[in-house]
Amino acid sequence: MAGLIYLASPYSHQSAAVREARYLAARSYTIHAIQQGYAMFSPIVYGRAMETQIGTDYLSWKEFNDAMVRASASVWVLRIYGWENSKGVSYEVNFARELKLPVAYVDPRELP
C-alpha cells in the first residue's frame, strides 16, 4: 500500500439531491478502495454528519482538509458530476501540487 490517499470530490450544491448523489458516489468509491486495500480518506464521507454544524462549503473545512492533505501520500480526484467546476476540488489539487504530492484523476467505476 502506498500510504494515505485523500479523495477530492465535489459536494457543495444548492440542491440536496445533488449533494446526496455526490456523497453516495464518494462513499461507494471509498468503500471499494478500502476493500481493495487502499487507505483512503474522503472528507465528504467522513464529514457529512457534521455539515449542519460546520457547513458544506470548502472554506468551512479548509483548515481540516489542509491537514488531511498534508498527512496524505497522494490526492485522487473523483471525476463525478461537477468535479471540473468545484472550487474545493480545484483548491485541493493546487494545494497538493504545492506540496509536491502526486495527483491522480479517477473514474468512479475504476481503481488505478
- 36 class by beta-carbon count within 10 Å (0-12 exposed, 13-18 middle, 19+ buried): exposed
Report domain extents, the chain: 4-106
39-41, strands of its sheet edge to edge: 39-41, 4-8, 74-78, 103-106
- Model-level pTM? 0.88
Q: Does position 1 have pLDDT exceeding 60, yes or no?
A: no
Dump strand ranges (E) for the chain. 4-8, 39-41, 74-78, 103-106
Contact yes or no for 70/100 (Cβ under 8 A): no
Q: Which residues pair with 104 in a beta bridge?
A: 76
Q: What is the pLDDT of residues 61-88, one digit of tens each?
A: 778 888 989 999 999 999 999 999 999 9
Look at residue 55 in the predicted model and tell me its pLDDT: 61
Look at residue 51 in the predicted model and tell me its pLDDT: 64
Superfamily holding 4-106 = Hypothetical protein PA1492 (3.40.50.10400)
Task: Give phi and psi for 85, each to the nearest 5.
Answer: -110, 5
Question: Residue 105 corresponds to which amino acid?
Answer: Y
Q: What is the pLDDT of residues 12-58, one digit of tens each?
A: 888 999 999 999 999 999 999 999 999 999 999 987 766 666 665 66
Contact yes or no for 72/66 (Cβ under 8 A): no
Contact yes or no for 54/47 (Cβ under 8 A): yes
- Note the Cα 51 to chain centre separation in Å: 15
Copy the grid coordinates of residue 11: 459536494
